[in-house]
Structure 1
């Protein structure tokens, strides 16, 4: 059975708006390294549209820093599933699924392969409650943004979800990578 990892950037005050962060080269290298174990990305529509075509353009034109270019190349090489009722078209490495995200992820988890990386705040409560998230890789950035999408909305979980911290990495930028496993 494949491992499902939830990966996200987050501000110190708990918001997940990627446009509020400016990850250092070191953090970009960390994310590239985490993707080496991943062979499927599982997105909600909002995150998919935030990530693509931006990173596809960086990969094609090599328009970022060296670390951003490496991240973009790895990210765009991985197959993707996007959960969306409204998207009509996606790139050739992406498949649209219209409904039942937990059911779809459960099917994918049963297939042979490496890790599946989930990158969707909107789907997170449903996937946690279905018992599908095995680990969390959060990078906490030293910034207070005071607005945006919280990691979890108040009342979005029916019960507590206990995690075990298995690794931390302190970056020179002040960001911290936290790796948790489901208990």
Structure 2
């Protein structure tokens, strides 16, 4: 069975608004390396629209820094599933699914392949409740933003989920990569 990894940038005060972060070259290299283990990205609409077409344009035009270009190339090569009731279409490497995200992810998890990266804060509680998230890879940035989408909202989980810290990486920028496994 494939491993499902929830991967997210987060502020020190618990918000996941990517527009508030400016990841360092080191952090981008870290995410590029984590993507090498992934052969499927599982997005909600908001994250998908944040990432695409932006990173696809960077990859095509090589318009970022060297680290941004490497990240963009790695990201855009990976197949994607996008959960959305409102999108009309997605890019050529993506498949649009309208309902039942936990059922869809379970089917995908049971197929042969490498790691699946889940990048959706809105779907997280449902996927945790279904027991589908095997690991959490969070990069905590040294910034307090005071607004945006929290990782989890009060009451979004029926019971707590115990995790085991298996790795940490301290970046020169002050960001920290934290890798947890579900216990």
TM-score by length of 1: 1.00
Q: Aligned partners of 2:162 and 2:55: how far apart in 1?
A: 33
For structure 1, the residue ranges without an aligned partner over 5 or more in a row are: none
Q: Aligned partners of 1:141 and 1:85: how far apart in 2?
A: 31
Q: 1:92 deviation in Å?
A: 0.6
Q: 1:74 deviation in Å?
A: 0.3
Q: 1:148 deviation in Å?
A: 0.2
Q: 1:141 deviation in Å?
A: 0.1
Q: Aligned with 1:27: secondary structure?
A: helix
Q: 1:34 deviation in Å?
A: 0.1
Q: 1:137 deviation in Å?
A: 0.2
Q: Aligned with 1:89: secondary structure?
A: coil
After superposition, the CA RMSD in angstroms is 0.3
For structure 2, the residue ranges without an aligned partner over 5 or more in a row are: none
Over 4 Å off, 4+ runs = none
Q: Deviations over 1:114-160 (max 9, x none)?
A: 00000000000000000000000000000000000000011000000
Counterpart for residue 9 of structure 1: 9
Q: Aligned partners of 1:179 and 1:157: how far apart in 2?
A: 20
Q: 1:178 deviation in Å?
A: 0.1
Q: Deviations over 1:71-104 (max 9, x none)?
A: 0000000000000011111111000000000000
Instruction: Map 1:17-96 onto structure 2 (within 5 A).
Output: 17-96=17-96
How many residues align? The count is 183
Q: 1:171 deviation in Å?
A: 0.1
Q: Deviations over 1:151-174 (max 9, x none)?
A: 001100000000000000000000
Counterpart for residue 177 of structure 2: 177
Q: Aligned with 1:147: secondary structure?
A: coil
Q: Aligned partners of 1:63 and 1:117: how far apart in 2?
A: 25
TM-score by length of 2: 1.00
Q: 1:2 deviation in Å?
A: 0.1
Q: 1:107 deviation in Å?
A: 0.1
Q: 1:53 deviation in Å?
A: 0.3
Q: Aligned partners of 1:73 and 1:130: how far apart in 2?
A: 32
Counterpart for residue 109 of structure 2: 109
Instruction: Answer yes or no: is 1:123 the counterpart of 2:142.
Output: no
